[in-house]
Amino acid sequence: MSDISTISVHGRRVAFRRAGDTGQRPCVVLVHGIAGDGSEWEPVLDTLSTSYDVIAPDLAGHGESTRLRGDHSIGAFATWLRDVLEALEVERATFVGHSLGGGVVMQFAYQFPEYVERMVLVSSGGLGREVSALIRAASLPGAEWVLGGVGVAARSAEPLLAAVGVGPRTEYGELVHRIGGLTDGDRRAAFVRAVRAIASPGGQRVNASDRLYLAEDVPTVIVWGARDRIIPVTHAHATHEAVPGSELVIFDEAGHFPHGDDPERFTAVLENFIRSTDPASYDKVRIRRRMTSRDDVENRQSAPSGGEGGQITTSSSRPDTKEPAMPKYLLLKHYTGGPEPLGCPPMNEWTPDEIAAHIQFQRDTVKMLTERGEFVDALAAAPTGNWVRYGGPDKGPDVLDGPFPETKELVAGWFLIDVESEQRAHEVAAFASSAPGPRGEPIYEWIEVRPVMSEPPSFE
């Protein structure tokens, strides 16, 4: 297995494994799944490196790489990967993505198609609603605290499992190993934020189905384990039908980690796929024509629901004028008050770095909402203020400096969002409430969610 190397990108540490003749052979980039790291590819990396320049990065917040601040969306990971490849002087590659990494690879191909020669999607996320209960549970409020304890238990169980043959290269052993890694606070925070960006208690929210047609010219192979308990193999068959010219390979005896369950076969599949296909050539004019000639998706059979707008998803397109307008919601930020005390010191007791991280989170949230087409407005309220009223026909406004009711201290700012449902408004509010505070820990402030009236109320 290649040693871990590190570089600094935007002042943050990036860890990666690289094997083979650097820059002298075709490049293969291996992108691991959630809560994992580049060591996931250990069973296949050395063999692949005899023919290719192989790079297996630790995604931000995973392994030895510094985590992202704020935005943990698939788009943020794709942009991070582009910057890493630029730093490593990689211009083109075959991209192999497992689970979350598959979603990152598809998003990368959508955002940066000029880099992509081929795609290999391995038990990939972002292709349907269904996902394991573990991932759905991790999106719930308070998951950080629960996962810390679960991680301790998993780490304690690893030696016992290894003694009975359930090692880290088995599906159960790998899952336990990943959960055990969540005892690290940064890794746990990255895991929970990434999960919340892609999933909800109802399942996956990110779905690439409606833009896979753009990858028609990119040679694609879909690899899945028939016994996958994390993401069902039905997603593989549906994706194969949605991607013209794609190949589908099912490992009948494998689960969620086919490259770990049968590394020899996986390596053979990958090498044969690369040898038998020509790398895609990026044609901006062809892509533009393909996008603008697409039939009206509203009049065709509905694609799978959910998704992160601005990324490769189904829910990014807005209803046309024949559909009712999407409801607007006001998210009032309560640093104090709410159903229960916030439990953290006031902001004037935070360090400058803690304040900067908190503000950056708000900016990243605005960016995420803007990319989804859900952002209307956001403002922060200063702690100072005045009472003002009409002062009379020959007078100026009456202005007083106080006294103010206790409620003045409750609302510190707000988001005005335009979303498809109250459930989505609650999801945005839950995400906004996890802004970092002292020591970088989420503050979990209460967010008041109020519908904005689009017409006068009826009293009939």
> Could you tell me the CATH number of the domain that includes residue 443?
3.30.70.1060
Position 319 scores a pLDDT of 35
Position 241 scores a pLDDT of 85
Lowest mean pLDDT segment, chosen from 61-65, 108-112, 382-386:
382-386
Average pLDDT along the chain: 79
Most trustworthy range by pLDDT among 121-125, 137-141, 211-215, 350-354: 121-125
- Phi and psi of 445, rounded to 5°? -70, 155
d(CA 449, CA 330): 6
C-alpha count within 13 angstroms, C-beta hemisphere, residue 275: 8
Is pLDDT of 342 > 70?
A: no
Q: Are residues 39 and 88 in the same domain?
A: yes
- DSSP bridge partners of 398: 389
Higher pLDDT, 386 or 297: 386
Other beta carbons within 10 Å of 207: 28
Higher pLDDT, 54 or 335: 54
Q: Are residues 254 and 336 in the same domain?
A: no
In a domain, 300, yes or no: no
Task: Choose one of 275, 292, 309: the last residue of a domain.
Answer: 292
**Is residue 228 annotated as a catalytic residue, yes or no?**
yes
Instruction: Tell me the percentage of the chain whose pLDDT exceeds 70.
Output: 76
In a domain, 74, yes or no: yes
Q: What is the pLDDT of residues 74-93, one digit of tens each?
A: 889 999 999 999 999 999 99
In a domain, 318, yes or no: no
In a domain, 248, yes or no: yes
In a domain, 267, yes or no: yes
Lowest mean pLDDT segment, chosen from 64-73, 120-129, 328-337, 353-362:
328-337
Position 18 scores a pLDDT of 96
In a domain, 232, yes or no: yes
Q: Are residues 272 and 332 in the same domain?
A: no
Q: Are residues 280 and 345 in the same domain?
A: no
Burial class (CB in 10 A: 0-12, 13-18, 19+), 332: middle
- Span 381-399, mean pLDDT? 73
Is pLDDT of 320 > 50?
A: no
Position 447 scores a pLDDT of 84
Position 368 scores a pLDDT of 82
Position 106 scores a pLDDT of 94
CATH of the domain at 221: 3.40.50.1820
Which of 271, 203, 259, 201 lies closest to 228, judged by CA? 259
Position 265 scores a pLDDT of 96
Is pLDDT of 408 > 60?
A: no
Task: Provide the whole-model pTM.
Answer: 0.62
Q: Are residues 80 and 211 in the same domain?
A: yes
| Token code pair at residue 399 | 């202005």
Is pLDDT of 325 > 50?
A: no
Q: Are residues 272 and 193 in the same domain?
A: yes
Q: What is the pLDDT of residues 425-456, one digit of tens each?
A: 888 888 888 888 888 888 878 888 888 865 55
Which of these is catalytic: 37, 210, 228, 262? 228
Position 404 scores a pLDDT of 58
Q: Are residues 338 and 432 in the same domain?
A: yes
Q: Are residues 242 and 381 in the same domain?
A: no
In a domain, 182, yes or no: yes
- Span 41-59, mean pLDDT? 95
Is pLDDT of 340 > 70?
A: no
d(CA 191, CA 180): 12
Position 312 scores a pLDDT of 37
Task: Choose one of 245, 273, 292: the last residue of a domain.
Answer: 292
* 349 band by pLDDT with thresholds 50, 70 and 90: confident
Higher pLDDT, 56 or 238: 56
Q: For the chain, how many structural domains are there in total? A: 2
Is pLDDT of 414 > 90?
A: no
Other beta carbons within 10 Å of 347: 15
Q: Are residues 63 and 180 in the same domain?
A: yes
| b/e per residue 404-421 (b: at least 16 CB within 10 A) | eeeeeebebbbbbbbbbe
Most trustworthy range by pLDDT among 14-18, 180-184, 452-456: 14-18
**Is residue 281 annotated as a catalytic residue, yes or no?**
no
Is pLDDT of 19 > 90?
A: yes
d(CA 421, CA 309): 14
* 172 band by pLDDT with thresholds 50, 70 and 90: low
Which of these is catalytic: 98, 177, 240, 256? 256
* 128 band by pLDDT with thresholds 50, 70 and 90: confident
- Span 324-329, mean pLDDT? 60
Which of these is catalytic: 2, 65, 73, 99? 99
Q: Are residues 78 and 169 in the same domain?
A: yes
Position 167 scores a pLDDT of 52
Position 314 scores a pLDDT of 29
* 306 band by pLDDT with thresholds 50, 70 and 90: very low
Higher pLDDT, 118 or 132: 118
Position 301 scores a pLDDT of 43
Is pLDDT of 215 > 90?
A: no
In a domain, 315, yes or no: no
Q: Are residues 159 and 36 in the same domain?
A: yes
Structural domain including 374 reads: 328-451
**Is residue 317 annotated as a catalytic residue, yes or no?**
no
Position 311 scores a pLDDT of 41
Taking the mean position of all CA atoms in its chain, how far away is CA 380?
Answer: 26
Q: Are residues 187 and 257 in the same domain?
A: yes
